[in-house]
Amino acid sequence: MSSIVAIVGRPNVGKSTLFNRLIKRREAIVDSVSGVTRDRHYGKSEWNGKEFSVIDTGGYIVGSDDIFEGEIRKQVQLAIDEADIILFVVDVEQGITPMDDAVAKILRQVKKPLFMAVNKVDNAMRAADAVEFYNLGLGDYHTISSVNGSGTGELLDALVEEIPEPVEDEETDNELPRFAVVGRPNAGKSSLINALIGEERNIVTNIAGTTRDTIDTKYNRFGFEFNLVDTAGIRKKSKVKEDLEFYSVMRAVRAIEHCDVAIVVIDATRGFEGQDEKIFWLAEKNRKGIVVLVNKWDLIEKETNTMRDFERQIRKKIEPFTDVPIVFISALTKQRIFKAIETAVDVFENRKRKIQTSKLNETMLDIVQNFPPPAIKGKFVKIKYCMQLPTHTPQFAFFANLPQYIRDPYKRFVENKLREHYDFTGVPISIYFRQK
């Protein structure tokens, strides 16, 4: 479970540049789909062996540059509520502005680890100018230049000190599967959970989650046993008047990192929208199992192919990762909610699937010999051997003489063949080509 670091500060201090610098350290994690940056404001980063999630709050402020301070205060408040560590960015060129003052005033109340980064410090003169930021009353600061990266190493060294050591989760096999119900507000997450738990409330225990934001409910009915990670309305949104996109993404980040399978609930009356897509790719990027539930299906006027067309539209939007179960339900009438849970259990099993190396080679080597990667510059790529890596999620290594010549389309071809022969429905697969 990685910690969440939220970058806060007024516009144009270089938050996004810093964000990009932080998440670019692990290229592989960031590009979830080649050429697609669907999530510009959320990424994973790693430093000194510790992983953490980074949220750029600046990316969520909509409007022009003369944005009201209120909007920024709201962002800062949300970041404080939802993140584990706050990174406050200020700009040495501008010095302290009234808005920095306003943000600092809120941050002085915070009991969480807080780091102040004075950005755009790229020479000794500016380093001397940075002293004025002591006046914000937030104690020490780090001078950085997010454009060229100077000072970011020291900042990260200090920051990851605040992140607990990663725990080796060896016993995942005996633990109950964890299903997170995620989705945009009003998609029907609460109704689904109530329908599942039912009035009888077959709850054995209420284990408070590690964060006060996600609560695990032990679920034991219909012969299934699992933990339900509930993100729906755990805390009343009295603080947040509008349905802020930022808020639901922050919620989803929390729940998804907590779970084995993300149950993405979408509202059939609204279709599969940008926000749903964002949550879907968040789960994919975190390598979680995914089930898409189309809720409120009872409200849709149906013709012969309504369901087929609806499903087709969703699959079009989630290309190339289309091997995902889509179940049409109604939480209100309890239509197919049992099927939804059954599907989530199947996906959980698929995610644990291990394939014997001999069987894998028997199947896959035959395929890659018949359909080898296209030759590039007269060089022929030969794949000699493959194996599943001993990781929690399905990852495969293929050993070849010239792995650098294997392009994305071929990787997708290999992934599709793997999916054809072994059941990995709902589970992201990672494929690596390595030097023999």
pTM for the model = 0.71
Amino acid present at 48: N
Per-residue model confidence (pLDDT) at position 379 = 86
Beta pairing class for 224-230 and 178-182 = parallel
Annotated ligand binding at 13? The verdict is: yes
Would the annotation count 202 as a binding residue?
no
Residues with Cβ within 8 Å of residue 84, at least 6 apart in sequence: 3, 4, 5, 112, 113, 162, 163
- Binding site annotation covers 57? yes
DSSP secondary structure, 320-353, as one string: T-----EEE-BTTTTBTHHHHHHHHHHHHHHHH-
Tens-binned pLDDT, residue by residue, of the chain (436 aa): 678 898 988 878 888 888 888 877 443 333 333 333 344 577 778 888 888 888 887 756 555 455 556 777 777 887 788 788 999 999 999 999 988 998 899 999 888 999 999 999 988 889 999 999 999 999 999 999 988 888 999 999 999 999 887 665 544 445 788 899 988 877 888 788 878 876 444 333 444 333 344 556 777 876 788 888 776 544 444 444 444 556 666 777 878 887 899 999 999 999 998 878 888 988 898 899 999 999 999 988 888 888 999 999 999 999 888 999 999 999 888 899 889 999 999 999 999 999 999 999 999 999 988 998 888 888 888 898 999 998 888 999 999 998 888 888 999 999 999 999 999 999 999 999 988 7
By CB atoms closer than 10 A (0-12, 13-18, 19+), residue 342 is: middle
Alpha-helix runs per DSSP H in 239-317:
245-257, 274-285, 306-317
Residue 111 among known ligand-binding residues: no
Classified as helix, coil or strand, 220 is strand
137 is in an annotated binding site: no
Say what the pLDDT of residue 114 is.
Answer: 94
- 9 carries a ligand binding annotation: yes
pLDDT for the residue 207: 42
Sheet bearing 42-47, strands edge to edge = 42-47, 50-56, 3-8, 85-91, 114-119, 142-143
Question: Is-contact 29 43, C-beta < 8 A?
Answer: yes
- Residue 66: both structure tokens together: 């003369």
Q: What is the pLDDT of residue 69?
A: 66
* Residue 79 annotated as part of some ligand binding site: no
Is 74 flagged in the annotation as binding?
A: no
What the chain holds in terms of domains, given with CATH numbers, is 3-162 (3.40.50.300), 178-351 (3.40.50.300), 357-435 (3.30.300.20)
Sheet hosting strand 203-208, strand order edge to edge: 203-208, 215-221, 224-230, 178-182, 261-267, 289-295, 326-328
Residue 405 assigned to a binding site: no
Listed in sequence order, the residues at least 6 apart from 305 whose beta carbon sits closer than 8 Å to its beta carbon are none
**Spatial distance between the Cα atoms of 89 and 10, rounded to a whole number of angstroms:** 8
- Answer yes or no: is 430 a known binding residue: no
